[in-house]
Amino acid sequence: MAPDDQNQRHVPSSPLVVKIGGSLAPHIPEIVPVLRASPRTLLIVPGGGQFADAIRQVAVNDDAAHWMAVAAMEQYGWMLASNGLPTTDYLAVPQTTSVLLPYLVMREADPLPHSWNVTSDTIAAWVAKTLGTDLLVLKSVDGIMVHGTLKEYLNGPVESDSVDPCFIPFVIKNGVLTHVLNGTHIHRIERFLSGESVLGTRIGTTF
């Protein structure tokens, strides 16, 4: 039986960090209402999207590129917020589903290497680890793809261009239970947040 056809599970109530990839920008108007209606409180970490892509065309050192990319996440965060979500620049589980504007948080903590091997994927994982929550990563692919094949479960590092190189080792090392889903399939997001198993990749050391 395919994962999308499995029976509904118990509806979870614990808070969740959700990373929304920049490639999902055209789908934001459909995604945001599902997130706002979630039975779980969500802290949304924005990707960098087109704002981060522009930085790759500029000749700057790694430190400058890192902070410019975090600032790009903030711009994408405001794009998300313009669809009816509140924002926060405080690293805590919010009272209501909100978008994290990460620049001040990251400048104060500065927890990750300054490299293009670390993108908003690993930043979202660090947020989830710091808050002690699970992580949902929404991409424009069905999950972690390795040589064109979807990996439904991972409990060790693999090479994949679906996420940044530091992401999978980070979530495994730090015990962040992670799901990677295709955010272009809006019903999958809705069903996942309601406690159902849907097509995607689950990353963790225990299942």
User: Is the CB of residue 103 less than 8 Å from the CB of residue 74?
Assistant: yes
What pLDDT is stored for residue 68 in this prediction? 96
Residue 51: predicted pLDDT? 92
pLDDT in tens, 64-105: 999 999 999 999 999 999 999 999 999 999 999 999 999 999
pLDDT of residue 131 exceeding 60, the answer is yes
Query: What is the structure's pLDDT at 2?
Result: 46
Share of the chain above pLDDT 70, in %: 94
Question: How far, in Å, CA of 100 to CA of 86, rounded?
Answer: 9
CA dihedral over 133, 134, 139, 145, signed as positive or negative? positive
Query: What does pLDDT average to over the chain?
Result: 93
Distance (Å) of CA 39 to CA 18, 146, 185, 194, 202: 14, 32, 19, 7, 21
- Report the C-alpha gap between 18 and 16 in whole angstroms: 6
pLDDT digits (tens, 9 = 90+) for 169-198: 999 999 999 999 999 999 999 999 999 999
pLDDT higher than 80, residue 141:
yes
pLDDT given for residue 9 in this prediction:
53
What structural domains does the chain harbor?
Answer: 3-203 (3.40.1160.10)
Tallying the residues shown for the chain, one arrives at 207
5-17, pLDDT tens digit by residue? 444 456 788 999 9
pTM: 0.92
Of the candidates 14, 42, 32, the residue with the CA atom closest to the CA atom of residue 81: 32
